[in-house]
Amino acid sequence: MTEILYSLPLWYAKVTAMLIFLGMLIVAWLLPYNFVVQGAPDKKRWRDLRLWATLLTIVQLFIYYIF
Amino acid sequence: MWEFTQTSVHWIDIVLIVSYLAGITVFGFYYKSHIKTAKDYFLANRSLPWWVIGLSIIGTNIGSNDYIGAAGNAYSIGIAQANFEWIGAIPAMILSALVFIPFFWRAGVYSIPEYLGLRYNNAVRFIAACVMSVFAVVIVGVFLWATAIMLQTYLGWPIWFSILVTATVVGFYTISGGLGAVAITDTVQTFIMFFTAIIVAFIGIEKIGGFDVFIKTLQNNYPDHLHSFLPANHPVFPWPGVILGLGIVLSPAYWCANQAILQRTFAAKSEWDGKASMMFAACLKTFVPFLIVMPGLLALTLAGKSITHQDQALPWVIKHILPAGISGLMFVAFIAALQSSIDSTMNSTSVIIVRDIINVAKKTKLTDGAQLRLGKLFTFIILIVGIAFAPITAYFQGIYVYVQYALSLFQGPIFALMLFGILDKRITPSAGLFSMISGLAVAAVLGWLQFNMLYIAFLSFVYSAIALYIVSLFTKRKPEAELKNVVYSNVVEID
């Protein structure tokens, strides 16, 4: 098991990290809209926190692509 | 240790440091008049907006170990240190904002153990509260000692005087102003940290000869320092450990179940503010490596490998790069990082002791006035115990690492209880109690077998998750009515 782990190239780590970010984004978009904006004082577009999660994920994917 | 010594600090730096200490005390004291009830003291009367909480979360999160340790690690291993701020934080913060915080807020809890009590039973609540409190008191002592060491090194103040000054300033606004004062001062402290980091990076890169030269120096001389992950056989940060242990268990356990971090989200003025505050903190977290990793990389490009110990990287930057005034500002940012961690730990621990230990142990419930009085009293007691414990840390090399290691033994099982308790109403109270106790035992055995800390967190989490489901098959579920606002399916049905 350890031998297999040690032989994996480093890009596996990058891809796994990116998949975790994408997985979390999918979880965010699977949540009902009403659940996400519950308690917001108005219905403005930026109150939808799934958009914040999308922006964050794009930035993180870009960072892990570079480094 | 006992005498004032002469140092070569510029008078501008001393004025900056003393002004900061005085200013933050007055600022926090202003909040004293706002405290009328236990809810005011522990939850700022649920009045905090999302941006204040977001900045406060980052202030609480960044401690002295981040500044010294992360800069040192960046000097040693490079940008891989930033994983603690990226893969080791942001996915968990999104999970916390969208899945965990709504339940805590709707359930109206003051603490994480209180939520565990609602979802499982008072035995789980009591055990979790005791473990969290013990760790928190030790950590206050470690933070006080770290601040005192800095004041001694930089200003020549004796250790005892440095501890007393730090404890008096933090104790004054935390005890008198409660969570409101803590959150507002944290916000100011976070501003100071970011502002200083930008100036330090600007001066450092200017000294190197510009951003292009900085990047080219790293690419040509230290190419390994620009990789985000380290090989699987790395002794400290193997990438499978970083992904499985840090990314999947330790990080969610911290961001979804750490009392000091989450207490301010319970104090949000609306459920949306609570969720948005954690999202905003995640946005800020993206740039935190700029604060704490950058100085290490600056030291590497300017000093090469001449620095003997990696923890000397940041002091080297302060001493050799920063002019008078800016080095004082950097020192203020240090103190701010420490104070924002000490005040949050004290305030959140007093909540746990009063509401989850004393209130659960007593047959008659505490009145609101009694909770307020005890909250202030225990904040003071935690500070006194922290002061008493601070010098002891000098006799244990790297005690903070041991504390973090011990805490990681507990985080796998408790996160399993939180995650599956929220997502699945079939999990029973007996399964929760069994999984927490046996999961802790499994983690201790793995520690005794000298497993890497990151793997212990992952394996103890997996064990606890399996135990939760197996024991739930043979034990009695909690009545549906008692799970209102506590389990995911029930909340969605309400909406």
Q: Count CB pairs under 8 A between chains A and B.
A: 113
Look up tokens 């507002």; give the residue: B184
Q: What is the pLDDT of residue B245?
A: 80
Q: Which two tokens stand for residue B64?
A: 């002295």
pLDDT at B275: 92
Which of B83, B98, B104, B237 has the most A C-beta neighbours within 10 Å, making it the best mutation to test the interface with A?
B98
Nearest CA in chain A to B248: A20
Q: Is the pLDDT of residue A10 over 80?
A: no
pLDDT at A58: 93
How high does pLDDT run on average in chain B?
82
* Residue showing tokens 């951003």: B211
Least confident range from B292-296, B333-337, B361-365, B481-485: namely: B361-365
pLDDT at B400: 54
Kindly list the residues from chain A whose CB atom is less than 8 angstroms away from the CB atom of residue B229: 10, 13-14, 17
Task: Find the range with the poorest average confidence among B98-102, B113-117, B364-368, B461-465.
Answer: B364-368
> Measured between CB atoms, does A27 come within 8 Å of chain B?
yes
A contacts of B286 (beta carbons < 8 Å)? 56, 59-60, 63
Q: What is the mean pLDDT of residues B258-281?
A: 91
pLDDT at B155: 72
The tokens describing B299, both together, are: 């030291």
Q: Mean pLDDT highest for which of B161-175, B319-333, B481-495?
A: B161-175
Q: A8 touching B, CB under 8 A?
A: yes
pLDDT at A1: 55
Comparing alpha-carbon positions, the chain A residue that sits nearest to B88 is A17
Tracing tokens 């609570």 back to the chain, one arrives at B274
How do residues B63-85 score in pLDDT, each as one tens digit? 765 676 788 888 888 888 888 78
| pLDDT value of position B272 | 95
- pLDDT at B441 (0 to 100): 93
Task: Tell whether A22 is within 8 A of chain B (Cβ).
Answer: no
- What is the Cα–Cα distance from A2 to A42, expressed in whole angstroms? 53
pLDDT of A44 above 70: yes
Cα separation, B467 vs A57, in Å, equals 33
From CA B265, how far away is CA B102, in angstroms rounded?
A: 10
Q: Is the pLDDT of residue B37 over 70?
A: yes
- Could you tell me if B268 and B53 are in contact, meaning their C-beta atoms sit under 8 angstroms apart? yes
Q: How far is B82 from chain A (nearest CA, A)?
A: 11
Q: Pick from B97, B228, B491: which is nearest to A49 by CB?
A: B97
CB contact under 8 Å between B275 and A67, yes or no, is: no
Kindly state the average pLDDT of the residues B172-190.
Answer: 84
pLDDT of B494: 40
Given a cut of 50, is residue B207 above it in pLDDT? yes
The model's pLDDT over B240-251, given as tens digits with 9 standing for 90+, comes to 888 878 788 878
- Quote the number of domains for chain A: 1
Distance from CA of A11 to the nearest CA of B (A): 9
List of chain A residues whose C-beta atoms are within 8 Å of the C-beta of residue B491: 35
Q: Quick one: pLDDT at residue B495?
A: 41
Residue-number span of the structural domain to which A26 is assigned: 2-66
- In a mutational test of the A interface, the residue from B50, B51, B86 whose CB has the highest number of chain A CBs within 10 Å is B86
Segments in B326-448 forming alpha helices (H): 326-351, 359-361, 368-389, 399-423, 429-448
CB contacts of A67 in chain B (<8 Å) are 79, 226-228
Which domains occur in chain B, in start order?
11-395 (1.20.1730.10), 400-495 (no CATH)
* Amino acid B257: pLDDT: 87
B29-43, B63-77, B95-109, B299-313: range with highest mean pLDDT? B95-109
How far the first Cα of chain B sits from its last, in Å, is: 61
What is the per-residue pLDDT for B6? 45
Is pLDDT of B4 > 90?
Answer: no
B102 touches chain A (CB under 8 A): yes
DSSP code per residue over B49-112: -HHHHHHHHHHHH--HIIIIIIHHHHHHHGGGGGGGTTTTTHHHHHHIIIIIHHHHHHHT-SSH
What percentage of chain B has pLDDT greater than the value 70? 88
Q: B241: distance to nearest CA of chain A, Å? A: 10
Minimal C-alpha gap between A63 and chain B (Å): 9
What pLDDT was estimated at residue B120? 92
B2 pLDDT tier (thresholds 50, 70, 90): very low
pLDDT digits (tens, 9 = 90+) for B139-179: 788 878 777 876 776 677 787 788 888 888 888 788 888 88
Whether B66 and B290 have beta carbons less than 8 Å apart is answered as: no
- Whether B97 and chain A come into contact, CB under 8 Å, resolves to yes
Chain B interface, mutation test: which of A11, A31, A34, A38, most B Cβ atoms within 10 Å? A38
Q: Which of B227, B256, B275 to mutate to test the interface with A (most CBs of A within 10 A)?
A: B275
Q: Is B85 on the interface with A (CB under 8 A)?
A: no
